Amino acid sequence: MTDRAAQLAEELHSAGVTDVACALVLGSGLSSLTERMEVRARIPFSELPSMPGSRVPGHAGEFVFGMLGGVATLAQSGRVHLYEGWEVASVVRSVRAFAALGSETLLLTNAAGGMHASWPAGTLMYVVDHLNLQWRRPRARRGTTGPYSASVLEALRHAAAARSIPHEEGVYAGMLGPGYETPAEIRMLRSLGADAVGMSTVCEAVAAWDAGLEVGAVSCITNPAAGISDGPLNHDEVVEAGRRAGARFCDLVEGFVQLR
């Protein structure tokens, strides 16, 4: 763990975050999960000297700690991105801190563009692997053939089956952003084996795995990627689609946390 990540963990601990069992990162439009928590502490990024601030619409920019389904859970509502100008170490600082706070599991979530015409907006995709096309990678002491935990994936499957929540599974392509991809770029990504595309997650997954966490990720398909549909893409629609998928997403994550 870096000195800044250790400092962030100390700041969160001083703000009331202790004995975390499971940690979450909530992407665009997905912060409604915190409404289900029995909140013990709500800490804006701005109150933590070691935490970079998020400037993306739809990202609350706070940590929420409390009980979710009877499990001590730390939810990071919003994230910081490489395209905002942050270095990789800043983007992954919080997930490295989660391990120091006791968490053994991290579930990353994101809003993503889907590459299959048969996947409507609101589809939930479990990430089984990723393509890091951000051309950045956090320092990792461990080699990896893939940071995503088989046990986390199995828990997600069980949580979905118990609640009759449909889902897909696939490969997430992480792009640098901040602009949406062109139709030609989407064709390229499909040829590389990607099923969804976004601008986050890949560096966080590698850093969390390096910190010893069991890592999983869920993409909420909020829009068809460029060239899959004829309409223009915009961030407001991404956030709104995430909110519309909120109930199923929250049911899934709450069920998952109870299994961890």
Task: Given the residues 62, 81, 148, 194, select the one marked as catalytic.
Answer: 81
Active site residue 84: yes
> Which one from 5, 51, 72, 111 is the annotated catalytic residue?
111
Give ∠ CA 252-152-253 in degrees, rounded to 5: 15
Residue 224 · residue 113 · CB < 8 Å: yes
3-state secondary structure of 153: helix
Q: How far apart are CA 88 and CA 226, in angstroms?
A: 27
Indicate the residue type of 247: A
**H or E element, residue 54:** none
Q: Which of 83, 104, 169, 240 is catalytic?
A: 83
173 is catalytic: no
- Catalytic (active site) residue 59: yes
Tell me which DSSP letter residue 181 carries. P
The answer to whether residue 196 is catalytic is no
Query: Does 148 participate in catalysis according to the annotation?
Result: no
Region of residue 159 (phi > 0: left; psi between -120 and 50: alpha; otherwise: beta)? alpha
Determine whether 14 is an active site residue: no
> Does the active-site annotation cover 200?
yes
Instruction: Please give the structure tokens belonging to residue 239.
Output: 């956030």
Note whether 172 and 161 are within 8 A (CB).
no
77 is catalytic: no
The rounded distance, in Å, linking the Cα atoms of 191 and 212 is 32
Catalytic residue among 9, 51, 199, 207: 199
Active site residue 83: yes
111: annotated active-site residue: yes
Catalytic-role residue among 10, 84, 104, 237: 84
**Catalytic hit among 54, 59, 196, 245:** 59
**Which of the following is catalytic: 94, 103, 110, 223?**
223
Catalytic residue among 200, 204, 219, 241: 200
- Provide the annotated active-site residues: 28, 59, 81, 83-84, 111, 199-200, 223, 235
